[in-house]
């Protein structure tokens, strides 16, 4: 009951610890701010186990799918005390598929060798540029090989597959690429979020919210995750029921599937 009474003040404290929009040293400064620094809210009752020092790297690359990235980033950003690295080759803004730019706060050389979470978003055709970029793939392989948790959303799992990280693993991804994961040695699973050891993969785009929520639940417990879900007011009730191949109208499914025949072939061609 004490935890529940403290939730409102906790929600305010969460915003103080969101490090994603700041440079690494600025984020660290925020994390050192005492809970009592707020003049209008008493933070002293926040459960001690809600605070941590997780090191999280989220990969940015030109053409990434914005919602793949932003959904999990919102959830990770509510981990109080976490250091979130929005990492790219340079510190220049990175343009997403919808022309929304994200500002990185770290380059490949700036982030720790050992991470708590290493996250890769998906994209459309931009995933092929990533998979053909030797330096980026080497970076992914290096950090993912030591990370406590490796995560992806959408076609990000294809990138992980190309990096050799899915062999023998159950994994999911966007429906346009899910079955193609088998060419990388994965076991494709038609589920929203799939866990296999330290690997967690999400289905297409909006599944990033579910993936992020499950991850913070694993790290901090169900009560914390449920609190953040309420803070996000995440209770989707879409007007349409076309969010899965199994529920989409046949004409909708046929149209969309025809669009991606060449895309699927190109994924399979990434394996010699």
CATH code, 56: 3.40.50.880
Number of separate domains in the chain: 1
Return the closest-CA partner of residue 79 out of 195, 204, 227, 201.
Answer: 227
Output 181 or 29, whichever has higher pLDDT.
181
- Tokens representing residue 185 in the block: 């040695």
CB 143 within 8 A of CB 111: yes
pLDDT band at 4 (very low <50, low <70, confident <90, very high): very low
Check residue 42 and give its pLDDT. Answer: 67
Domain membership of residue 111 (yes or no) is yes
Domain membership of residue 145 (yes or no) is yes
How far is Cα 254 from Cα 269, in angstroms, rounded to an integer? 23
Q: Which of 154, 171, 213, 248 is catalytic?
A: 154
Domain membership of residue 30 (yes or no) is yes
Domain membership of residue 266 (yes or no) is no
Domain membership of residue 258 (yes or no) is no
Check residue 39 and give its pLDDT. Answer: 57
CB 183 within 8 A of CB 267: yes
Q: Which domain holds residue 211?
A: 2-240
Q: What share of the chain in percent tops pLDDT 90? A: 81
pLDDT digits (tens, 9 = 90+) for 194-234: 999 999 999 999 999 999 999 999 999 999 999 999 999 99
Active site residue 222: no
Domain membership of residue 142 (yes or no) is yes
Domain membership of residue 33 (yes or no) is yes
User: Whole-model pTM?
Assistant: 0.86
Domain membership of residue 246 (yes or no) is no
């Amino acid at each position: 009951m004490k935890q529940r009474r403290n939730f409102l003040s906790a929600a305010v404290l969460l915003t103080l610890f969101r490090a994603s929009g700041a440079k690494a040293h600025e984020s660290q400064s925020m994390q050192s701010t005492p809970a009592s620094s707020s003049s209008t809210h008493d933070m002293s009752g926040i459960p001690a186990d809600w605070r941590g020092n997780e090191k999280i790297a989220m990969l940015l690359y030109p053409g990434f799918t914005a919602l793949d990235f932003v959904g999990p980033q919102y959830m990770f950003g509510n981990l109080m005390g976490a250091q979130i690295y929005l990492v790219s080759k340079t510190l220049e803004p990175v343009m997403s598929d919808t022309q929304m730019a994200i500002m990185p706060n770290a380059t490949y050389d700036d982030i720790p060798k050992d991470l708590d979470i290493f996250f890769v978003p998906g994209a459309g055709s931009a995933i092929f540029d990533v998979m053909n970029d030797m330096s980026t793939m080497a970076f992914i392989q290096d950090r993912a090989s030591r990370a406590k948790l490796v995560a992806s959303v959408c076609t990000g799992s294809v990138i992980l597959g190309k990096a050799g990280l899915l062999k023998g693993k159950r994994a999911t991804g966007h429906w346009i690429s899910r079955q193609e994961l088998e060419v990388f040695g994965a076991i494709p699973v038609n589920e929203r979020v799939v866990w296999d050891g330290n690997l967690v993969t999400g289905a297409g785009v909006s599944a990033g919210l579910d993936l992020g929520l499950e991850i913070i639940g694993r790290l901090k417990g169900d009560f914390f995750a449920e609190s953040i879900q309420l803070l996000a007011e995440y209770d989707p009730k879409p007007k349409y029921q076309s969010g899965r191949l199994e529920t989409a109208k046949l004409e909708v499914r046929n149209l969309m599937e025809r669009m991606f025949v060449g895309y699927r072939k190109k994924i399979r061609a990434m394996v010699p």
